[in-house]
Each structure stands twice: as structure tokens, then as C-alpha cells.
């Protein structure tokens, strides 16, 4: 019943803000435009389309706001006015009341606000779909004062998300049962992955630990700054971290005027992404412009600043190796190897012909190599890839949904900073170097180093373990010989019994023959 009410509310919002009119007029068919005009009679749709879409997503709640955030990075797919409006969803969602925010902080940390902070800015500096952020001054244990950012969860988030997720599960079930591609696309598993990451995002303590891990991983790269977490003031509902000062990456003109090399910034973004994915298997999976800034401080000029670590992705060693081989094969235009990898991994049926899949992949990808991003129609590429995947029954991998989403974010950022960025040539040397490290002596050295404590404990015990093994081996051999002898004796007894039974049978048969002869002699 709650899903029905939610579905009805979504339909009401669509009609209230004229999203049906926006959708119908996006098609080129004149009769659809006529239908849109007829349906618009009696409704006030004077507001710009982008504003209506943004307000509708805000009205529908956090899941739809996140969808709008992702769309805002794809200016190649949207009109500029709509993209500008959706960009406001990244950090300009209407905030909730500051008094409520303070009560949440005091309840979570167990102290009045004036005892927790030297100063606290009641006006939030940013407000997003899940939480909002206030600036504050925090006194350290040594008495010094540091600038801090305080992130507070929006009250009542869990019930709202549960309602939308229940509706999405129901719709996924419809897609799986009614669509010809339902089982291949695994919509229920995709919704399950989305469910997991949304609930993870509601735990700010988990977010703090993810930020700490990324900070350690990126410490030697010197391309990105990640804030320090103040653990004494972190709970599941409140997160207090180092305040970062930078320019939002969406303010391209301001960065250019400050002297930032935008082309290098775009290349650094690609390097950061591939390092997190293929070296660490642990990556920031919510890299929309609202979460990315650029430092203008003299000691860190031109470096990225990452914020909001509620969604992170992880990859297994198998996933990393498989993806790296695919990327490398793509960059080398070795489409046969790409087809073989799809079959080896089980993504397509084992009966698939390699030459047919190779030809289909070549037809999709070859026209787009050596082109800058501004000349590539990603919509056309995705459509043709979908047609190819349907033909060869390629299975969607739910564990890679976040990686696919982050790739879209990275491409959107790259297009915004440097439309001429060649994503393939930028990433190719990195991936080739990574593949060499995976199979070369450096990988062996790292594995031996990581296992050194185990080997150090094991080596002194080797003589004793070897002696035990030999003793067990000799005992096992002795027991085996005894068992064989017992089996031979049992076989001999069985043979003697069989011989006795056989002799008895022949004796009985011979007796019957003699008795028959005797009777015949007496009778005749």
C-alpha cells in the first residue's frame, strides 16, 4: 500500500511540474508536441524547464536528487540551461533548520554546542541530499584551535529512502519479468547494490573511515588533498573533519584566471581515478563537481581536493586484473582479446563465437579512437553497445555499477576542463605500467614482503614440521601395509569359501546324476 501511495505521489509530481511535457517535447515528432500542448492545458508551466526538473527532483527526495547530480555532469546530453539548474543539486539543496541541526549534534556528541566548539556557524555552507555542512572552530587537546567542517545527517532520511527503494525493487521485478532483457540486466541485483551503498552513506562513521583509508592511499601521489578526520567528534550521525579551502571545480573561469593549468588538471583527474581503481582497488565513487575542489594555496596549488566519501567502491584482485586487461586490449585495439576475455570471465555464453563477438566490438569502438571527447557521442556509443550486448547475451555485472557511474563522472569532469582531452592516450601508459608491475619481479617482491612475518615464524619450525610429516608418512605407510595384508588374508578366506561352495555344488549335482542313473537301472 505504501508503494502505491509513493507511486501515486511520483505521478502527481511529474504532472505538477510538467515533466511529461518536457519529455514529449524532447522528441522530434510533431504529433508528440501537439499531445504535449493538449496535456499542458490548465497547468501553470511558465517556469523554465530546468527549474521545473530540479524542483521536481528535490520534491521527490534524496534518491532522485542523486540522479539529478549524476545528470548534471553530462552537459553533452543536456541543454545548457537544464545542466546549470541540475548543477545546483550538488550542494544547493534547501537546508533544514539550523536549530534542528544543533540539536542533532548535541544529541550525537553528548555535549552542548558551546562546549564542543570554540565557534559554530549556524548558517550551513553546503546542503546536499543526505546531509548538510557547517563550519566551526575546534579546540585540540593541546589547546590550539583548528578550522573544522561539521557534517550532519538530515533527520528522517532512513524512512524516506526505504520507501523509494521498495518502489525501485517492485519496478525491478516488473522489468525482470516483463522485459526480454530483464534477467540479463539483473535489475534486482543492481537495486540491491544501490540499496547497500545508500545505507552505507547514512553511516557517517563509515564515511570517516573510508576518508581515512583514501587519505593513506593517496598520501604519496601529491595530486589530491583529503581532509583529516577528528575521531573524538565522529559518530554515525555527525562527522567533524578538517576544513578544506578550495575553488569548486565547476568554476572553470575562476580557476583559469588564477593560473591553474586546466589541461594538466584534467590529466591528473584521470591519473587519480586509475590509481585508486587499479592500484588500490578502493576508489571515490561520488566524484560529481560538488564533491571536487581545487586548491589555490601556494603549497598545494593546482591539486585536487576530494570531499564527501559516503560512497566508495571496492574491486577484488580478479576484478582489477580483468578490467585492466580489457582496458589494455581496448587501447591496443586488440578486439579479439577483448572478446576472449568476455568469454573467459563468463560474461557471455561459452558457446559464443570469438570472431563474431570480436567483429561486433570492433564495429562499436573503432570509429571513436583518436578523437577528443567533444567529438564523441557517448549516447550513440552506449546505444550500440547495448544492442551488441543484447545480441550476445552479455550479463550486467552489478558489482561494477559504481565503477561505471564513476567513469561517467570522470568523463564529465574531463569534458568540462579540457574538451580536447584524449582519455585513451592519457590512461594507456598508466595501465600498461600497471600490468607490467602485476607480472614482473616488483609484484613478487611485494608479495614476499607482505608474507615476511608469516615466513619468519614458519622457518624455525620447518625441521619439526618436516620430522612430523616424515613420521606421519612412515606411520601411514605402515598402516597401509597392514591394511593391504589384512585385505589379502580376507581375500584368501573368501577364495577358500568360494572353492568349498563350488565343490559342494558340483558334489550335489554329481549326486543327483548318480541317483537318477541308479533309479533308472532299478526301474528297467
Q: What residues are annotated to the active site? A: 286
Helices 423-439, 441-450: axis angle to 10 degrees equals 60
**In 3D, which of 335, 333, 326 has the Cα closest to residue 358?**
335
- 235 three-class SS: coil
The DSSP bridge pattern shows strands 282-284 and 312-314 to be: antiparallel
Distance of alpha carbon 355 from the chain centroid: 31
Sole residue written with cell 570480436: 358
Q: Show the cell assigned to 145.
A: 584551535
Give strand pairing partners of 135: 149
Sole residue written with cell 595384508: 485
Instruction: Note the helical H segments in 179-304.
Output: 182-185, 187-201, 204-217, 252-257, 262-274
**In 3D, which of 39, 4, 3 has the Cα closest to residue 19?**
39
Q: Show the cell assigned to 514.
A: 548318480
The DSSP bridge pattern shows strands 224-225 and 304-306 to be: parallel
Dihedral over alpha carbons 47, 53, 55, 56 (to 10 degrees): 120
Query: Running DSSP on this structure, what letter comes out for residue 229?
Result: B
Measured from the Cβ of residue 287, the count of other Cβ atoms closer than 10 Å reads 27
Sole residue written with cell 581515512: 212
Amino acid at each position: 500500500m505504501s508503494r502505491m501511495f509513493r507511486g501515486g505521489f511520483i505521478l502527481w509530481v511529474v504532472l505538477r511540474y510538467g515533466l511529461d511535457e518536457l519529455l514529449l517535447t524532447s522528441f522530434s515528432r510533431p504529433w508528440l508536441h501537439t499531445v504535449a500542448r493538449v496535456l499542458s492545458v490548465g497547468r501553470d508551466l511558465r517556469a523554465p524547464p530546468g527549474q521545473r526538473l530540479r524542483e521536481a527532483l528535490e520534491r521527490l527526495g534524496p534518491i532522485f536528487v542523486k540522479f539529478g547530480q549524476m545528470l548534471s555532469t553530462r552537459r553533452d546530453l543536456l541543454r545548457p540551461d537544464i545542466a546549470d539548474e541540475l548543477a545546483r543539486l550538488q550542494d544547493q539543496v534547501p537546508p533544514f533548520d539550523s536549530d534542528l541541526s544543533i540539536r542533532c549534534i548535541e544529541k550525537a556528541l553528548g555535549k552542548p554546542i558551546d562546549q564542543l566548539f570554540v565557534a559554530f556557524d549556524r548558517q550551513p555552507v553546503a546542503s546536499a541530499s543526505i546531509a548538510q555542512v557547517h563550519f566551526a572552530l575546534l579546540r585540540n587537546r593541546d589547546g590550539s584551535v583548528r578550522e573544522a567542517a561539521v557534517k550532519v545527517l538530515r533527520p528522517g532520511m532512513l524512512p524516506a529512502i526505504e520507501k523509494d527503494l521498495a518502489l525501485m525493487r517492485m519496478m525491478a521485478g516488473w522489468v525482470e519479468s516483463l522485459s526480454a532483457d530483464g534477467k540479463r540486466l539483473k535489475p534486482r541485483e543492481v537495486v540491491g547494490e544501490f540499496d547497500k551503498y545508500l545505507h552505507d552513506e547514512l553511516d557517517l562513521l563509515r564515511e570517516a573511515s573510508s576518508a581515512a583509508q583514501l587519505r593513506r592511499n593517496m598520501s604519496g601521489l601529491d595530486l589530491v588533498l583529503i581532509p583529516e578526520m577528528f575521531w573524538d567528534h565522529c559518530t554515525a550521525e555527525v562527522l567533524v573533519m578538517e576544513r578544506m579551502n578550495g575553488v569548486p571545480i565547476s568554476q572553470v573561469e575562476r580557476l583559469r584566471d588564477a593560473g591553474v593549468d586546466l589541461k594538466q588538471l584534467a590529466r591528473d583527474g584521470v591519473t587519480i581515478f586509475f590509481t585508486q581503481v587499479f592500484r588500490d582497488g578502493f576508489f571515490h565513487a561520488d566524484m560529481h563537481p560538488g564533491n571536487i575542489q581545487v586548491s589555490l594555496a601556494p603549497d598545494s596549488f593546482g591539486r585536487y581536493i576530494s570531499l564527501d566519501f559516503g560512497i566508495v567502491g571496492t574491486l577484488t584482485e580478479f576484478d582489477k586484473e580483468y578490467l585492466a586487461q580489457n582496458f589494455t586490449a581496448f587501447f591496443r585495439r586488440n578486439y579479439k582479446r577483448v572478446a576472449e576475455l568476455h568469454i573467459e570471465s563468463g560474461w557471455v555464453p561459452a558457446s559464443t563465437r570469438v570472431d563474431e563477438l570480436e567483429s561486433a566490438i570492433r564495429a562499436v569502438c573503432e570509429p571513436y579512437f583518436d578523437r577528443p571527447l567533444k567529438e564523441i557521442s557517448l549516447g550513440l556509443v552506449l546505444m550500440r553497445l547495448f544492442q551488441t550486448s543484447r545480441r550476445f547475451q552479455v550479463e550486467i555485472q552489478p558489482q561494477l555499477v559504481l565503477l561505471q557511474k564513476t567513469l561517467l563522472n570522470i568523463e564529465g569532469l574531463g569534458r568540462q576542463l579540457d574538451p580536447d582531452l584524449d582519455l585513451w592516450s592519457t590512461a594507456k601508459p598508466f595501465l600498461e605500467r600497471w600490468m607490467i608491475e602485476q607480472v614482473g619481479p616488483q609484484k613478487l617482491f611485494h608479495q614476499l614482503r607482505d608474507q615476511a612475518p608469516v615466513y619468519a615464524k614458519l622457518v624455525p619450525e620447518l625441521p619439526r614440521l618436516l620430522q612430523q610429516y616424515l613420521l606421519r608418512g612412515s606411520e601411514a605407510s605402515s598402516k597401509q601395509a597392514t591394511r593391504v595384508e589384512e585385505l589379502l588374508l580376507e581375500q584368501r578366506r573368501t577364495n577358500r569359501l568360494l572353492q568349498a561352495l563350488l565343490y559342494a555344488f558340483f558334489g550335489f549335482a554329481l549326486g543327483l546324476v548318480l541317483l537318477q542313473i541308479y533309479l533308472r537301472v532299478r526301474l528297467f
